[in-house]
């Protein structure tokens, strides 16, 4: 990970953002929000396409031939991410109540959210088995106790650890992956970085990186993956910003 390069790109992106018209920024952000909702739900089996995801989130349309759960997953994802952005804008440090609120938004109209599981769970195909409920409660309390004091980690590593450790504990009966990816982006945004989306096509690399942490305590593969995604987003942002002059008559970004 070239963290120095990421800091330089972050500074360049911040300067470009200050120069861009509001409609250009909105287009860039909206495009990411749709892509993020699509990928994060698709990783867990949602079959909505990117265009269908856009129709639900941006256009407020219903989609035929899909289950209500799939539609709610996408709509809820947009609500939860908006909440994350609001909390970050207010400078709210990530804590247990905020995490439960995020989960509750993700699970709205699907199941009761923000409540820790009281059953054992397994992750299909994983070598790591999440802790039993009694042990899970202890580990999740330790997670939140440690969270403010991970000062040895840079912002990328902190985002990676927050995601990897939370999903390792697996405190909810469902929605742990989507919640963990929200927490990852919460930390990136708090660090002044851009949120990232893990493409559904990269789910095997993603699962392998999380497995390396869960089984061996090795955060390097996952932190490296997040750093690579962050670099791509920052470079894309700077590139698009350089192409968009303030006087551009048609600044709307295409998906």
Active site residues per annotation: 170
CB-CB contact of 221 with 1 (8 Å): no
Residues 6+ apart with CB under 8 A from 55: 61, 63
CB-CB contact of 24 with 247 (8 Å): no
Structure tokens at 107: 């699970």
Find tokens 């939860």 and name the residue. Answer: 80
């Amino acid at each position: 990970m070239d963290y120095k390069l990421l800091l330089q790109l972050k500074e360049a992106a911040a300067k470009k953002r200050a120069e861009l018209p509001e409609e250009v920024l909105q287009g860039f952000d909206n495009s990411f929000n749709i892509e993020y909702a699509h990928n994060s739900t698709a990783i867990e089996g949602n079959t909505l396409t990117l265009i269908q995801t856009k129709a639900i989130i941006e256009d407020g349309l219903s989609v035929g031939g899909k289950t209500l759960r799939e539609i709610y997953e996408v709509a809820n994802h947009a609500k939860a991410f908006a909440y994350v952005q609001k909390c970050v804008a207010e400078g709210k440090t990530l804590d247990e109540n905020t995490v439960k609120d995020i989960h509750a938004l993700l699970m709205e109209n699907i199941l009761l959210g923000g409540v820790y599981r009281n059953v054992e769970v397994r992750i299909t195909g994983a070598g790591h088995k999440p802790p039993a409920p009694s042990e899970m409660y202890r580990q999740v309390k330790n997670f939140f106790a440690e969270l403010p004091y991970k000062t040895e980690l840079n912002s990328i590593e902190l985002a990676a650890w927050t995601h990897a450790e939370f999903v390792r504990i697996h405190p909810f009966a469902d929605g742990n992956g989507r919640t963990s990816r929200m927490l990852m982006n919460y930390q990136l945004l708090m660090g002044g970085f851009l949120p990232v989306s893990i493409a559904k096509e990269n789910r095997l690399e993603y699962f392998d990186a999380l497995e390396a942490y869960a089984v061996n305590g090795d955060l390097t593969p996952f932190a490296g993956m997040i750093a690579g995604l962050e670099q791509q987003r920052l470079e894309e942002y700077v590139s698009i910003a350089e192409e968009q002059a303030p006087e551009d008559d048609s600044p709307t970004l295409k998906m």
